[in-house]
Amino acid sequence: MDRQSTWHIGLAGALTVAFTLLVVYASLHPFSGWRDSGAPVLAFLTSGWPRYMTVFDLFSDIMGYLPFGFLCVPALQPRFGRLAACVLTVVLGASLSLSMEGLQNFLPSRVPSNIDLGCNTLGSLLGALLGARWGALLLDGGRLHSMQIRLVGMGAMADAGLILLGLWLFSQLNPEILLFGNGDLRSLLGLEVPLPFVAERFPWIEAGVAASNILAVGLLAGCMLRQGGRFLPAALIGFALVIKTFSLMLLMSVSAGFSWATPGSLSGVAAGLVLWLLATALPGSLQQALAALALLLATALVNLAPENPYISAIMQTWHQGHFLNFNGLTRLISLLWPFLALPYLILMRPEKTHEA
């Protein structure tokens, strides 16, 4: 097997596995209240049209499995061929959906549906067709492949780093956290907020969280690059702010789009960018160590931060509705991200070669 196929299977397969895990989490969230209702597990297959089904439900069920089909085909194609990969992808997508719908019988907050199963299968089919046409172009031998080789190289660590940065961008869709404030373990562990809210001190905490995270992510992205340059890490941070803004507009309201831009957060963004620019002059190993320290500081500040009354007020009036699964997924990624990034920073070898 040639180098191209090896890269292809590594990245496409890793993305497929990662997306499958996200589907499982979204389908079974909130993972509480498990009980046996006594009804046959597959009884939903012969049920009638759901009472409260909407066009949005149908669209979201289709789109939820479309990426699975798109990623799975290029992952399977080198071994099985294009046609067999498409068929196998649809079978896997339908089997995954059937398994999730069946397990939802045991969750009181979830309702299994044959319509969901059909839409998920249709999404897998559409994604498989798109993956057969464009998946190889994007994931193997195309522009993205060439760009990865040039900028971050090949191999498991390069693939893992790209996925890690993608998850960091995805975590910005969580409306419940401070700007870049990932890693809050208090709700998971049932811990009380350790510090009271003091208006005069809170902007300093916001600034510290934003600055230390920008420093950590900027250095992490820079250490991954084989070629020197500050544009890509800066663009990554800028894109994260764009995602944060538009997600707040979509999930909350248009007026809430820039609610993250508090004096504390803006000061933290400015300080973080300055610190990151200064740190780029350090050797790669020192940048890597500084990124790990900044990540530890950011996570500690997030877990010590008092509850933000503004965010709490917004969340009390926000009816999650169709976004319940989505919000649970973003919350999970936000919680886990620092604890995935830290071992990566410890294990990685800086790729920078200081080329122009």
DSSP string, 105-171: GG-TT----HHHHHHHHHHHHHHHHHIIIIIHHHHSSSHHHHHHHHHT-SSHHHHHHHHHHHHHHHH
* CA-based radius of gyration for the chain: 22
pLDDT band at 93 (very low <50, low <70, confident <90, very high): very high
* Amino acid, res. 23: V
Distant-in-sequence, close-in-space partners of 223: CB < 8 Å, separation ≥ 6: 284, 287, 288, 291, 345, 348, 350, 351, 352
Per-residue pLDDT, 327: 66
Report yes or no: 248 and 257 within 8 Å, Cβ to Cβ: yes
pLDDT tens figures, 109-125: 777 888 889 999 999 99
> How does residue 90 score in pLDDT terms, banded at 50, 70 and 90?
very high
The pLDDT value given to residue 296: 93
pLDDT digits (tens, 9 = 90+) for 63-89: 889 989 998 998 888 888 889 999 999
Query: Is 184:302 a contact under the CB 8 Å cutoff?
Result: yes
Chain-centroid distance of CA 324 in Å reads 16
Calpha distance 234→221 (Å, rounded):
9
pLDDT of residue 355: 41
| pLDDT for 354 | 42
C-alpha angle 10-340-219 in degrees, rounded to nearest 5: 90
Angle of CA points 35, 41, 46, to nearest 5°: 135
Q: How many CB atoms neighbour CB 246 within 10 A?
A: 13
Give the position of tokens 């191209």: 4
- Of the candidates 102, 120, 119, 98, which has an alpha carbon nearest to the alpha carbon of residue 111? 102
pLDDT per position as a tens digit, 294-323 = 999 999 998 988 877 666 555 555 554 444
pLDDT at 5: 43
Describe the crossing of helices 114-130 and 82-103 by its angle, rounded to 10 degrees: 160
The helix, strand and coil proportions of the chain, stated in percent and rounded to the nearest 5, come to: 70, 0, 30
In angstroms, the CA 185 to CA 298 distance is 13
- In the chain, beta strands by DSSP E: none
Q: By C-alpha distance, which of 78, 80, 90, 170 is closest to 130? A: 90
- Domain limits, the chain: 3-148, 155-347
Residue 232, pLDDT score: 86
pTM of the model: 0.69
> Do the Cβ atoms of 339 and 188 come closer than 8 Å?
no
Taking a C-beta distance cutoff of 8 angstroms, is the pair 206, 179 a contact?
A: yes
Residue 342 contacts residue 296 (beta carbons within 8 Å): yes
Rounded to the nearest integer, the mean pLDDT of the chain is 80
